């Protein structure tokens, strides 16, 4: 009776276990994605998990079996001199080794095929990204370029080809390759749309990329996956997959109802705020994203690209010349080459009125 009661308790416990799955919510978007890149990532995750379970499940089962088979009351035989079994050693070492090799090969191929910087080879399974044409050669479908800026604490999406921008909403046509170009205005963030692809970091002064595609129409959640301060919890946005007509209507609606977004308006927009409603913008300067990336939307500040160009020429003064000359004066000769020709160095940075009397910063260069 005691053993029957114990078995009943175990059975009731096992019967309740499936209910714990409800604690995870109803949307298992990572296991049911709507984009091909996320789908391939899901398949890689499931395949890796399945291969590892080939070891984990037998080991757990054998642990229970041996504990039951060799319990004290079973009076099992005991051989104190046993120390080796060739068949057992082959199984113990060869099976995990083969699984490690297979998982390693899958990871290596997945890392390269699913590189976020790599243009898409396919729209979905059986549908290549290159459109076939009569005569043999095909043309790759041009991606929709979306420039992403992580603000405090909201997301700005710029559509350079369409001349619009949106706040906390991004829309893309179904089966249209998307190229995200991502940066941040202040601190590090992370763009994550689980239904579309894996998360990619957004960093100030740097640009990262993500190539992806959405295969099913619908509305999906996007958010920041990297803590960035007080408003992080509400740093969320909508990603909508629509047909071509729906995308065209959305663009026209943004042009019609949006407000202008120039440099001055952006400087106001980038100030920290929380729980911003969806907004649309038009009349976007073609160089706005480049100015954000180079941290010089405020025209009084030097762009990082210009700063790096000055550094490449020896810095902003005679001290820079001295340092660069020490590093390079005999570099070519020491490597068996010819002496390097004279190179220019930055000796001073002039104010606009010193040279041309116009806006901007000019560097005086001397050989």
Task: Return d(Cα 43, Cα 32) in angstroms, integer.
Answer: 10
Catalogue the long-range contacts made by 343-350 (C-beta closer than 8 Å, 24 or more residues apart): 343/313, 343/367, 344/313, 344/314, 345/313, 345/314, 345/320, 345/321, 346/310, 346/313, 346/314, 346/315, 346/316, 346/317, 346/320, 346/321, 347/317, 347/318, 347/321, 348/316, 348/317, 349/310, 349/316
| Average predicted confidence (pLDDT) for the chain | 82
Give the least confident one: 26-30, 274-278, 356-360: 356-360
Mean pLDDT throughout 131-156?
79
The Cα angle at residue 359 between residues 357 and 363, in degrees rounded to 5: 80
User: What residue ranges define each of the domains in the chain, with the CATH number in brackets?
Assistant: 24-69+87-114 (no CATH), 141-293 (2.60.40.420), 304-366 (no CATH)
| DSSP letter (8 states) at residue 303 | P
pLDDT tens-digit readout, 262-271: 999 999 999 9
Residue 38 has pLDDT above 70, yes or no: yes
pLDDT tens-digit readout, 153-185: 999 999 999 999 999 999 999 999 999 999 999
Residue 296 has pLDDT above 60, yes or no: yes
More confident residue, 35 or 247: 247
Task: Return d(Cα 98, Cα 55) in angstroms, integer.
Answer: 11
- Say if residue 288 is exposed, middle or buried (CB neighbours under 10 Å; 0-12, 13-18, 19+): buried
Residue 334 has pLDDT above 80, yes or no: no
The share of the chain scoring above pLDDT 70, in percent, equals 74
Mean pLDDT throughout 109-136?
78
Contact 154, 167 (CB under 8 A): yes
Mean pLDDT throughout 239-252?
94
Mean pLDDT throughout 65-94?
81
What CA–CA distances, in Å, run from 230 to 96, 182, 276? 46, 22, 14
What pLDDT score was predicted for residue 360?
47
What pLDDT score was predicted for residue 306?
82
pLDDT tier at 358, thresholds 50, 70, 90: very low
- What would the two tokens of residue 320 be? 């820079």
Contact 152, 186 (CB under 8 A): yes
pLDDT tier at 359, thresholds 50, 70, 90: very low
120 backbone dihedrals φ, ψ, rounded to 5°: -70, 140
Distance separating the N- and C-terminal Cα atoms of the chain: 99
């Amino acid at each position: 009776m005691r053993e029957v009661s114990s078995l009943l308790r175990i059975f009731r416990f096992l019967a309740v276990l499936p209910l714990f799955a409800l604690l995870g919510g109803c949307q298992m978007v990572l296991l049911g994605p709507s984009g091909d890149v996320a789908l391939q990532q899901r398949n890689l995750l499931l395949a890796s998990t399945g291969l590892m379970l080939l070891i984990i499940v037998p080991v757990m089962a054998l642990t229970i079996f041996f504990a039951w088979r060799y319990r004290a009351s079973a009076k099992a035989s005991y051989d104190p001199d046993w120390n080796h079994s060739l068949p057992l050693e082959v199984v113990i070492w060869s099976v995990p080794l083969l699984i490690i090799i297979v998982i390693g090969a899958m990871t290596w191929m997945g890392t390269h095929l699913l590189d976020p910087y790599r243009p898409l080879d396919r729209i979905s399974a059986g549908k290549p990204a290159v459109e076939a044409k009569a005569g043999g050669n095909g043309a790759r479908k041009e991606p929709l370029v979306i420039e992403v800026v992580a603000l405090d604490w909201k997301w700005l999406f710029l559509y350079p080809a369409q001349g619009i921008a949106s706040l906390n909403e991004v829309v893309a046509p179904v089966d249209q390759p998307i190229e995200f170009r991502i940066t941040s205005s202040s601190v590090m963030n992370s763009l994550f749309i689980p239904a579309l692809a894996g998360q990619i970091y957004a960093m100030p002064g740097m640009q990262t990329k993500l190539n992806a595609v959405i295969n099913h129409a619908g509305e999906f959640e996007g958010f920041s996956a990297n803590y960035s301060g007080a408003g992080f919890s509400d740093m969320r946005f909508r990603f909508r997959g629509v047909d071509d007509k729906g995308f065209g209507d959305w663009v026209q609606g943004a042009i019609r109802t949006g407000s202008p977004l120039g440099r001055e308006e952006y400087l106001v927009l980038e100030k920290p705020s929380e729980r911003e409603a969806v907004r649309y913008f038009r009349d976007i300067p073609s160089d706005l994203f480049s100015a954000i990336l180079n941290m010089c939307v405020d025209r009084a500040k030097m762009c990082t690209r210009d700063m790096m160009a000055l550094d490449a020429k020896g810095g902003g003064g005679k001290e820079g010349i001295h340092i660069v000359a020490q590093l390079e004066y005999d570099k070519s000769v020491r490597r068996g080459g010819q002496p390097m020709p004279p190179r220019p160095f930055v000796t001073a940075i002039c104010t606009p009125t010193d040279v041309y009397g116009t806006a901007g910063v000019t560097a005086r260069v001397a050989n």
